[in-house]
Amino acid sequence: MGVGGCLALPWRCLVVLCLRLLFLVPAGVPVRSGDATFPKAMDNVTVRQGESATLRCTVDERVTRVAWLNRSTILYAGNDKWSIDNRVVILSNTKTQYSIKIHNVDIYDEGPYTCSVQTDNHPKTSRVHLIVQVPPQIVNISSDITVNEGSSVTLMCLAFGRPEPTVTWRHLSGKTFVSEDEYLEITGITREQSGEYECSAVNDVAVPDVRKVKVTVNYPPYISNAKNTGASVGQKGILQCEASAVPVAEFQCHSLGVTSKGRLSTLTFFNVSEKDYGNYTCVATNQLGNTNASIILYGAKQHKP
C-alpha cells in the first residue's frame, strides 16, 4: 500500500501509518527546520522525576490535523485524548500551538515524543526527547564493620540517579579519596586505616547524597608509656602504664591501689616504704593478645624546700 492509500484512510489510521513511515526514516536524519517543515517542536525537554513536562509544537493555519505520540502510541489527536493515562492533559490546541502536559513525570516516560501534523495533505513529524532526571540517592551501603588488623575489607555503596551518579569513597581522617568506585577494597587493613569512610554519590541534578561507614580495626595492645619512677620513703609514689589497643586493653593488676582508666593504669603508693621499691610488671590484655612492661619504683632523695 502506497502513501496515497494511506491518505485515503481515516485519520486515526493515518497517524499510525505515518508513524510507521517515520520509523522507516533512518535514525539520525534531522528534522529540517524552517517554513517548509512544520511542525516545529521544541528542543529536548529535561525535567526532574515528579515534575511536569510540557511538550509544545508550533503550528500554523495551514495545519489541518495534529497529534502527539509517545513512541508509537497516540496520546492526543486534536482535542481527543487517546491515552488512558490521567497524567496526560492537553494544554493548547490553537492556530499557532499544539501542546500537551505530562504531570508527575516518571523515568518510564523518558524517550522520544512525536508531534505529527498534516499540512496541505502532507504528513509531517517532529520529535522531541523527554529526558527525566533523578537526584543521586544511595540505595545500599555497607554497615559499620569491625575487623582485625591485617584482614581484608570491602565496602559497598550502591547509588541510583539520572544521569548515573559518580560514586567515590573518602577516608575522613585521611582526607583523601580512596576509591572512585562503588566498591572500596582494603587488603591487609592497618590500624591507621580505621575510622569513618564517606561515600558520595554525585550527579549534577541535585546536591550529592553522602553517607558514612565506620570501620573499627582491632589490634593487640602495645605499651606506649611505662616509666621508672622515683619516690622517697613516707611520700606518695605513682607508677603509670599506658597501653594502646582496640578494643581497649584491660590491665591485670591484683595489688591494692591500682586504678585503670581507659588506656592508663595507675598504681599509687600513698606512703612509700623501703619494701615497696622494686620491679613491677604492667600487663595489658585484649581479645587479640597481651603484652607487658617492667617499671621500677626506686628510692629518690627527698628534697627539702
Ligand X SMILES: *[C@@H]1O[C@H](CO)[C@@H](O)[C@H](O)[C@H]1NC(C)=O
**Residue ranges in contact with ligand X by CB under 6 A:** 43-44, 70-71, 75, 83, 85, 88, 102, 108-109, 129, 140, 234, 271, 279, 281, 283, 292, 294, 296
In the bound state with ligand X, the residue whose beta carbon lies nearer, of 104 and 173, is 104
Rounded Cα gap, residues 43 and 249, in angstroms: 67
Could you tell me if 9 and 17 are in contact, meaning their C-beta atoms sit under 8 angstroms apart?
Answer: yes
- Cα four-point dihedral sign 108, 53, 35, 122: positive
In the bound state with ligand X, the residue whose beta carbon lies nearer, of 7 and 160, is 160
Q: Minimum Å distance from CB 154 to ligand X?
A: 10
Rounded Cα gap, residues 283 and 165, in angstroms: 51
Q: Minimum Å distance from CB 215 to ligand X?
A: 17
In the bound state with ligand X, the residue whose beta carbon lies nearer, of 71 and 122, is 71
Q: Minimum Å distance from CB 175 to ligand X?
A: 28
In the bound state with ligand X, the residue whose beta carbon lies nearer, of 254 and 301, is 254
Strand partners, 226: 241
Rounded Cα gap, residues 224 and 206, in angstroms: 48
Rounded Cα gap, residues 124 and 17, in angstroms: 12
Q: Minimum Å distance from CB 245 to ligand X?
A: 15
Give DSSP secondary structure letters for 163-206.
Answer: SPPEEEEEETTTTEEEESSSEEEESS--GGG-EEEEEEEE-SSS
Q: Minimum Å distance from CB 117 to ligand X?
A: 19
In the bound state with ligand X, the residue whose beta carbon lies nearer, of 64 and 279, is 279
When computed from its CA atoms, the radius of gyration of the chain, rounded to whole angstroms, is 38
In the bound state with ligand X, the residue whose beta carbon lies nearer, of 146 and 294, is 294
Q: Minimum Å distance from CB 8 to ligand X?
A: 29
Q: Minimum Å distance from CB 63 to ligand X?
A: 23
In the bound state with ligand X, the residue whose beta carbon lies nearer, of 65 and 127, is 127
- Cα four-point dihedral sign 119, 120, 121, 124: negative
Question: What SS3 state is found at 226?
Answer: strand
- The secondary structure of residue 35, as a DSSP letter, is G
